[in-house]
């Protein structure tokens, strides 16, 4: 199987570090692309195919939901997870409408692995 390319977008460096550590432990072959905002994520994936993405919701500039719909246009097969501490029903419904996964923060190994392998 081709190792996955996983895009990790979060304005918190600590969050990106935690997610990367969890991915590296579970699948050392995976390629991780980190971005601290949506614009950076879009430019870093211009010439790369991504299979999986975890997107923070609340970031400066474009938010994670808007980024998700932009990414889905380019990578319709990608598995996308919206990662947020904003666990309001309204936000969950927006994720559902885009058919992407909703992952509540805090980041735990269990939640990330469930998303990656699910």
Closest to another protein by CB, 79 vs 105, is: 105
Tokens of 92: 């969950």
Q: To the nearest whole angstrom, how small is the minimum distance from the Cβ of residue 22 to another protein? A: 10
Residue ranges in contact with another protein by CB under 8 A: 11-15, 17-18, 21, 58-60, 84-91, 105-108
Rg (CA), the chain: 13
Q: To the nearest whole angstrom, how small is the minimum distance from the Cβ of residue 81 to another protein? A: 16
Closest to another protein by CB, 5 vs 84, is: 84
Distance CA 60, CA 107 (A): 20
Q: To the nearest whole angstrom, how small is the minimum distance from the Cβ of residue 11 to another protein? A: 8
């Amino acid at each position: 199987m081709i190792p996955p390319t996983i895009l990790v977008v979060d304005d918190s460096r600590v969050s990106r570090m935690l997610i990367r550590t969890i991915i590296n432990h579970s699948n050392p072959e995976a390629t991780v692309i980190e971005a601290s905002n949506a614009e950076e994520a879009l430019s870093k994936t211009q010439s790369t195919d991504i299979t999986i993405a975890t997107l923070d919701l609340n970031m400066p500039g474009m938010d994670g939901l808007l980024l998700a719909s932009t990414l889905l246009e380019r990578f319709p097969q990608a598995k996308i997870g919206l990662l947020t501490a904003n666990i309001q029903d309204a936000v969950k419904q927006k994720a559902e409408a885009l058919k992407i996964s909703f992952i509540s923060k805090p980041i735990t190994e269990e939640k990330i692995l469930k998303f990656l392998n699910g």
